[in-house]
């Protein structure tokens, strides 16, 4: 079983240093290469971790649902996804070109929807964010994927339709 302190150290420093730098620091501190390897594997969530905050960080869904960070990420991702899809053509296009055609507005909404989905998927899959944030983004992505795909389909039909 991996040392919870080593796992915590790896998780807390991954956003500031490369894995190689963290590994080198742990080896210089006297930890064996095997201990360091197990700590990195556990920090990636591939092995169970015992004790302390490190065990709670990759905890069950019930533990994740009790974390406010999960709900903040869920709501923020939802607002971001629908905000980019719906508000972009109204606000941004009006600022850039107030006389823009409907096609330009719809194209802007289509592109921003794709970008929003890509950003949400990237956050959900990122190993450099708190697991509660990743789960919140993934949940929002899953809940909003079908409506956004329908929205993108409607926008695509509008783009292909006749112009005025």
Q: Which residue has the higher pLDDT, 20 or 120?
A: 20
For residue 162 the two structure tokens come to 């006749």
How many whole angstroms separate alpha carbon 76 and alpha carbon 157? 29
How many whole angstroms separate alpha carbon 107 and alpha carbon 3? 52
Q: Which residue has the higher pLDDT, 83 or 137?
A: 137
pLDDT confidence band for 103 (50 / 70 / 90) = confident
**What does the domain layout of the chain look like in residue ranges?**
4-58, 63-160
pLDDT confidence band for 51 (50 / 70 / 90) = very low
How many whole angstroms separate alpha carbon 25 and alpha carbon 132? 27
- pTM over 0.85? The answer is no
How many whole angstroms separate alpha carbon 71 and alpha carbon 163? 42
How many whole angstroms separate alpha carbon 47 and alpha carbon 22? 19
pLDDT (mean) for 91-99:
71
pLDDT (mean) for 52-80:
71
**% the chain with pLDDT above 90:** 5
How many whole angstroms separate alpha carbon 150 and alpha carbon 91? 22
Give pLDDT, residue 27: 92
């Amino acid at each position: 079983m991996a040392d919870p302190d080593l796992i915590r150290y790896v998780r807390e420093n991954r956003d500031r240093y490369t894995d190689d730098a963290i590994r080198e620091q742990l080896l210089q501190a006297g930890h064996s290469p095997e201990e360091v390897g197990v700590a990195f594997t556990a920090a990636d969530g591939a092995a169970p971790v015992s004790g302390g905050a490190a065990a709670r960080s990759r905890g069950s869904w019930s533990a994740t649902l009790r974390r406010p960070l999960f709900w903040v990420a869920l709501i923020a991702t939802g607002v971001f996804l629908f905000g980019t899809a719906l508000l972009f053509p109204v606000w941004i296009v009006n600022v850039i070109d107030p006389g823009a055609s409907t096609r330009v507005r719809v194209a802007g909404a289509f592109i921003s929807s794709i970008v929003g989905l890509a950003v949400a998927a990237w956050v959900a899959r990122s190993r450099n964010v708190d697991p509660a944030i990743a789960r919140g983004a993934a949940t929002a992505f899953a809940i909003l994927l079908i409506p956004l795909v329908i929205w993108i389909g409607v926008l695509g039909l509008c783009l292909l339709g006749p112009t005025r």
